[in-house]
Amino acid sequence: MANKIEHRRLADLTPDTRNANKGSERGSAMIEKSLRNYGAGRSILIDKNGKIIAGNKTSENAGAIGMEEVIVVQTDGTKLVAVQRMDLDLDTDKAAKELAIADNRAGQVSLSWDVDVVKELSGEIDLAQFWTGDELEKLFKVDDDSAPSSGFLDQQEDLSYRVVVECLSEQHQAELLLKLEGDGLKCQPLIS
């Protein structure tokens, strides 16, 4: 298949209504800030009908800041598609270094599994290729507050003493995490 390049309107793409990543307010803010400060750093993935497979949060935030056009590279998946930013030099540009961190950190902070969608997808695909049995059990386990497991206890099982603090907002949570980590405590945000 010869690769074909098209220009389309971002609004013509269709978000994945069953996206298993609910995202987070903080992650959305980080993605938007990254797009505003550094521009687009990676591609999104769409199917043959223009439905977004990967990059739903990026697409959503790009539209929110007024990015209206998308360059579509048609491929069959046998070749990697690279986005080359001719305005950036990773060796010399502070913005390139910041974009490398922003891209990874925004993706990490924005990840919040929609347990209902993951459960629904488990009837259609083999989730064992993405999670171990124990990880799926903990993901699907619902605690007394009817909130899905965040993975917090999985990652912090070495802690003998734990305190859960309910914050007023994601901003409050972020500020409190910084303060507690500054005091030398191990912290992990709990997403409900």
Amino acid letter for position 66: G
Count of all residues that appear for the chain in the document = 192
Give the end of a domain, one of 110, 140, 157: 110
In which element (H, E) is residue 99 found?
Answer: helix 94-110
For residue 88, what is the DSSP state? -
Among 110, 105, 91, which Cα is nearest to 41's? Answer: 105
- Range of 33's domain? 4-110
For the chain, how many structural domains are there in total?
A: 2
What pLDDT tens digit does each residue of the chain (192 aa) get? 777 999 999 999 999 999 999 999 999 999 999 999 999 988 999 999 999 999 999 999 999 999 999 999 999 999 999 999 999 999 999 999 999 999 999 989 889 999 999 999 999 999 999 999 889 988 998 533 444 444 444 343 444 567 788 888 888 888 888 888 777 777 777 665
Same domain, 122 and 167: yes
- 131 and 87 fall within a common domain: no
